[in-house]
């Protein structure tokens, strides 16, 4: 049987919950610019794949529909980006949580696939937990810097000479993931170098303060060149492993 909630019938969901599949994973993505070589749907598509990988590792879990739009104000200088206000995203996540808890799910795990959603998820988590019954636990992965390190570790294990190209956005790692998920949408001939700088708290804060285009005119953090499916598979697995470890308290 599928683990995708939206592909199931209501009796199938009811039976799954009754049989102990009481954990549900919700990816929180974005529709925003990803350089000249990747489509706007990158974070939504990555969220779809990441949620399944996390659910598989957690066990006895289902996957709710990805929240496809996120907090992307810092990308609004690039055409096509759609952004939600923080309170709008919180309202959506709260309604997801209340709905799923009412159907008997005992654990709801939010996993962001877009950098701009990590902070908002951390801030709203107490409100999400307060909105559901004590029998339901709401968790979220909120370590943006740690997530970047998961990508770097994955690339270092395959192509250590390319690890400096992992910058955090539309870079080697993200482009490689898209070669796995939606290769038909990757314009490999347009892949290029962007802003090169280690992704740390200083860079993170500057991006959210000044906006992405002030840091990188082409919308890339890192270098998109050299992407491969092998690197993409490794990055997806590393991200899922790291998130599950954190959600399980093993990180």
What are the structural domains, with CATH classification, of the chain? 5-143 (3.40.50.10310), 145-238 (no CATH)
pTM over cut 0.85: yes
Please report, in tens digits, the pLDDT of each residue of the chain (251 residues total). 799 999 999 999 999 999 999 999 999 999 999 999 999 999 999 999 999 999 999 999 999 999 999 999 999 999 999 999 999 999 999 999 999 999 999 999 999 999 999 999 999 999 999 999 999 999 999 999 999 999 999 999 999 999 999 999 999 999 999 999 999 999 999 999 999 999 999 999 999 999 999 999 999 999 999 999 999 999 999 999 999 999 998 65
- pLDDT recorded at residue 120: 98
Residue given tokens 């992992």 in the structure block: 166
- In 3D, which of 117, 116, 96 has the Cα closest to residue 108? 96
Residues 28, 114 contacting (CB under 8 angstroms): yes
Q: Which residues contact 196 (CB under 8 A, 6 or more apart)?
A: 164, 167, 222, 223
Residue 10 phi, psi (nearest 5): -65, -40
């Amino acid at each position: 049987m599928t683990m995708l909630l939206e592909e199931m019938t209501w009796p199938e969901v009811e039976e799954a919950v009754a049989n102990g599949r009481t954990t549900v994973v919700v990816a929180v993505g974005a529709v925003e610019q990803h350089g000249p070589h990747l489509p706007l749907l990158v974070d939504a598509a990555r969220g779809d794949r990441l949620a399944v990988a996390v659910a598989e590792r957690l066990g006895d879990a289902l996957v709710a529909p990805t929240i496809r739009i996120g907090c992307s104000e810092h990308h609004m200088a690039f055409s096509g980006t759609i952004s939600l206000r923080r309170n709008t995203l919180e309202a959506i996540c709260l309604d997801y949580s209340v709905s799923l808890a009412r159907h008997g799910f005992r654990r709801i795990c939010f996993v962001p696939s877009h950098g701009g959603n990590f902070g908002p998820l951390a801030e709203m988590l107490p409100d999400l937990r307060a909105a559901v019954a004590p029998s339901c636990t709401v968790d979220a992965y909120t370590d943006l810097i740690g997530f970047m390190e998961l990508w770097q570790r994955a690339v270092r294990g395959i192509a250590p000479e390319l690890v400096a190209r992992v910058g955090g956005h539309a870079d080697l790692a993200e482009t490689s993931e898209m070669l796995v998920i939606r290769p038909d949408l990757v314009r490999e001939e347009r892949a290029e170098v962007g802003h090169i700088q280690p992704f740390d708290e200083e860079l993170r804060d500057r991006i959210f303060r000044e906006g992405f285009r002030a840091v990188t005119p082409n919308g890339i953090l890192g270098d998109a060149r050299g992407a491969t499916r092998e690197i993409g598979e490794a990055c997806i697995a590393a991200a899922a492993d790291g998130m599950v470890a954190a959600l399980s308290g093993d990180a």
